[in-house]
Amino acid sequence: MGAALGLACGLGLLLIWRAETSPRPAGRSKRSAGSRTQELLRGAGISGVTPLGLLSLSLLAGLAAGSAVLLVSRTPPVAVAFALIAAYLPVAMVRGRARRRRRELAEVWPEAVDNLASAVRAGLSLPEALTQLGERGPEPLRPSFSRFGGDYLATGRFSACLDRLKEDLSDPVGDRVVEALRIAREVGGGDLGRMLRALSRFLRDDARTRSELESRQAWVVNGARLAAGAPWAVLLTLSMQPEAIGRYRSPAGVMVLTIGAAACLLAYRLMVRLGRLPAERRVLT
């Protein structure tokens, strides 16, 4: 029994190591941290903040939290730990908003494609059908398609306007829809309505399946967050007791704090990675 358990644990660790160290698929060039941050901001629907602005906000949040904890606890190591946590909070909020926006868009894309199919069936051209989504389409998609309509009215370049629409949406499902419309526009033919109806069924089934899986694995992520945050809530409470928090000023206290932070980070990342569904990637950019 012990040998089988050890073999299973070893096999699991080997699979995790292979997943982390396996080479990336060909054709995906490395991007800078600034470009990744910019894509994250676009995916969250935040257009008025630059990567430098997000970095500045993180530094200000860390400085404010560290100063407040240092003022209360008089313990620099504890203040540094909470400063790092606070500095990460803006990035975590942007990532959470990007995930929520992606789920929201995935739910409304089938309705948008149905509207496109109805408009094409009514005799509108494809650019006109896309433009009318800015007025009659699902609410989360209206701003992007309104800007598409303005761009197309000003330039008349359908392909270039589709590229700007993809960049504005910054959504994997949107990439697939836009590329399908581009191919339909270039190839032509009378099967556009049939293609849109098939695409709508596919997107609706995909969104339903992903929603069910996400609802089932949400407890794993919530449990990981609770387990990772509980020790730091206790430490913050101890900051109100000078005789208890003062022990972290010693080298042994700093070592305990460092090991605890590393253990919490490693356990949280491992739990979230094991419980997270595969995220859709933007492969058509």
Helix-strand-coil percent breakdown of the chain, rounded to 5? 85, 0, 15
Closest CA to 104 of 27, 250, 211: 211
- Which pTM does this prediction carry? 0.72
pLDDT tens for each residue of 222-277: 877 888 888 888 888 888 887 778 888 888 888 988 998 898 888 888 877 776 66
Rounded distance, CA 47 to CA 64, Å? 25
Q: How many CB atoms lie within 10 A of CB 232?
A: 16
pLDDT tens for each residue of 40-89: 888 787 877 888 888 999 999 999 999 999 888 888 888 999 999 999 99
Residues 6+ apart with CB under 8 A from 127: 152, 158, 161
Q: What is the DSSP letter of 145?
A: H
What pLDDT is stored for residue 279 in this prediction? 63
Query: How many CA atoms are closer than 13 Å to the CA of 233, on its beta-carbon side?
Result: 6
